[in-house]
Structure 1
Amino acid sequence: MNADLMNKIELLQRQEDADGIHKVVSDTIGHYGFERFIISGLPDRGVDVRPFVLLSGWDDEWYKRYTNLGYVHLDPVARNCFATTLPFDWSDAPYDRAGDPQARRVMDEAHDFGMNEGLCVPVHLEGGMQGVVSLVGRTDWLSEQQRLELHMLALYAHGRLRFLNTVQTDRRRRAISPREAEVLKWVASGKTAADIAEITGLSARTVNQHCENAQRRLGTNNRLHTVVEAIRHKLIAL
C-alpha cells in the first residue's frame, strides 16, 4: 500500500473539523488527478438530501442547483450506489438516455459545469443506510492499485466525518433546550410564529426568541438553515 496514502489517512483521522478533512481530501485526490468531490449520505426517495451532506467540495452554484432541485433522486450515479458495493466510473452508471430524460438532464447539466467524468465510491452504513463519496475527474488512466487507494481514502473520510458529526450532534443536543427543539419542529412543519404561539400557548415574540436562540447556538444564518441543521443533527424529527 502507498506509504504516502497511509500517512494521509493517519492525518485524516487526526482532523477535528470538516475544514481540516476538506484540506486533506482535496490535497490527496489532487495527486490522483481529481479536482472536486462530495461526501454524503443518500436519502430515501423524495427526502431532501441537504441534511445528509457531510462535506461538499463541489462548485457552489452546482451544489445549490443539485440539492434544490432534488437531483439526487434522478442522478444515475447516485442511484447506482444502491446496486453495488464497489467503486465505479460515472460512465458505468446505467441509464437510458432516450428513455430517462430526467437522468439525461442531470448528466448533461453536470457536464455544463465541467463535471464530465468521475469516480464514485458507495459506502454502505449500519442500519441499511447508504452513503457516497464522489470524485470529479478523469478515471481512464487510473490503475487498479490507485482505485483501491482512493476506495480506502473515501471510506476513511466518510467514517471520520460521521464520527465528528456524531460528536457535534451530542454537543448540539445539549446546547438547545427542549422548548427550542419543539418550536423548530413546528417551524419545520411549515407553521408560522403565530401558528406556533397558538399551538404552544406562547406569545409570538417568545416563539421568535426561541428560534433566534437556536439559530445562535447552532451557528446558522437564518431560520431555514437552523431547521436543516437541527434535522441533520437529529435534534428534531419530522
Structure 2
Amino acid sequence: MDMHIGDVEPGDIFAAINDILRATDAETCTAIFRSVLDRCGIDTFASGEVDLRSRSRSVFHVIDWPDDWRAYYFGSGLVHRDPLVSALEHRVSPFTWAELRLDRTLPQVGTEALERTAEAGWVDGLVVPLPRGGGKRVGIVSIVARRSMISAAQKHLLPALCICYHERLRGLISAQRLPVAPAGLTSREFVVARGMSDRQIAAELGIAVSTAHEHVENARKRFEAATRAELAAAAVSLGIIHF
C-alpha cells in the first residue's frame, strides 16, 4: 500500500508548534498535537522517555492507544522486547516501521513483534527519537497509522512537531497523571523520588518516619538505584519529577 493521506504544509506545522509552546496545560498541548495527526491520517501515538538499560524504568507521558493494543503491549511483555525501542540503541534519526522491517539486523523477536502489529491492523508508523546525554536514555514519540504508509513529506515535517510536543508535554504533565507508573511505583513512592529526607517525606504525606523510609527503599529497589541520590537523578532525567 502506497497511499498517503493528508500531508500537511510547513506553515501548518509552524502554527501548531507555536500553539503548543503557548499551551499552559497537558490537555491543550495534546489536543493541538492530535489535531495535526488527524489531518495526516495518523490514528494513535505515544510519548515518553526510555531507559535503554532498564526498560522498567521507562516513562510514558501519554499513551493514546486503543484498549486492546495497550492490554496486549503490557500484558504480553512486548514492552520489554519492543523492536522500536531496541532500534533506539543505534538509531538517532526519525525512522518508519517500513524502514525498520528492512533492517536485516532486527532480531527474530523484533520481526515477530512487527508481524503482530501488522495483524492488529497497524500499517506503518514513525518513531522520533530524542537522544539524551550519555546515550542511555532516549525521549521518544511514536505515531502509528492504520490507513496509509507514512509519506516522505510526513517524515520530513512531523519530527519537528513531535519534538516540540514531547518537550512541552514533559514540562507540563505531573507524575500523578502518568498513564503507567514506571517500575510499578505507587503514588506515594513518586513523592520520595524528590530526594527529600525521611522526616520531610513523613511530614508531607502524614505518615511515620519509618514508613517513609520503607517507601524510599521500595522506590530505590524498583528503580534499580544504588542510592537515594541516584533515584532522584533517574526520576528527574525521565521527567517524572521537576524541581
Distance 1:184-1:87 versus aligned 2 partners, 3 A rule: same
For the residues of structure 1 that align with 2:116 and 2:21, how far apart are their CA atoms? 35
For the residues of structure 1 that align with 2:39 and 2:88, how far apart are their CA atoms? 25
Distance 1:141-1:166 versus aligned 2 partners, 3 A rule: closer
The answer as to 2:57 corresponding to 1:26 is no
- 2:215 maps to what in 1? 184
Q: Which has the larger radius of gyration?
A: 1
Distance 1:185-1:114 versus aligned 2 partners, 3 A rule: farther
1:11 touches 1:24 (CA, 8 Å); kept in 2?
A: yes
1:89 touches 1:139 (CA, 8 Å); kept in 2?
A: no
- 1:217 maps to what in 2? none
Distance 1:41-1:142 versus aligned 2 partners, 3 A rule: same
Quote the offset at 1:62 in angstroms. Answer: 1.7
For the residues of structure 2 that align with 1:64 and 1:43, how far apart are their CA atoms? 21
TM-score, with structure 1 as normaliser: 0.65
1:48-127 counterparts in 2 under 5 A? 48=56, 51-93=58-100, 94=103, 100=108, 102-127=109-134
Q: How big is each residue's C-alpha offset from its partner over 1:115-142, in whole Å with a ceiling of 9 and x where there is no partner?
A: 2311111111244321211111166462
- 2:240 maps to what in 1? 233
1:124 touches 1:131 (CA, 8 Å); kept in 2?
A: yes
Quote the offset at 1:30 in angstroms. Answer: 1.4
1:95 touches 1:103 (CA, 8 Å); kept in 2?
A: no
Matched residues, percent identical? Answer: 23
Quote the offset at 1:8 in angstroms. Answer: 0.8
For the residues of structure 2 that align with 1:12 and 1:38, how far apart are their CA atoms? 17
1:142-161 counterparts in 2 under 5 A? 142-144=151-153, 146-161=154-169
TM-score, with structure 2 as normaliser: 0.64
Quote the offset at 1:26 in angstroms. Answer: 1.2
For 1:121, what is the secondary structure of its paired residue?
strand
- 2:22 maps to what in 1? 14
1:118 touches 1:139 (CA, 8 Å); kept in 2?
A: no
For 1:34, what is the secondary structure of its paired residue?
coil
For the residues of structure 2 that align with 1:167 and 1:187, how far apart are their CA atoms? 17
Distance 1:10-1:182 versus aligned 2 partners, 3 A rule: farther
Q: How big is each residue's C-alpha offset from its partner over 1:101-157, in whole Å with a ceiling of 9 and x where there is no partner?
A: x2233223322332231111111124432121111116646234x322201001101
For 1:48, what is the secondary structure of its paired residue?
helix
For the residues of structure 1 that align with 2:175 and 2:71, how far apart are their CA atoms? 27
- Report which of the two has the higher share of helix: 1
CA RMSD, Structure 1 to Structure 2 (Å): 3.6
Unaligned runs of 5+ in 2: 1-8, 177-189, 206-211, 223-234
Number of positions where the alignment pairs a residue of Structure 1 with one of Structure 2: 191
2:97 touches 2:124 (CA, 8 Å); kept in 1?
A: yes
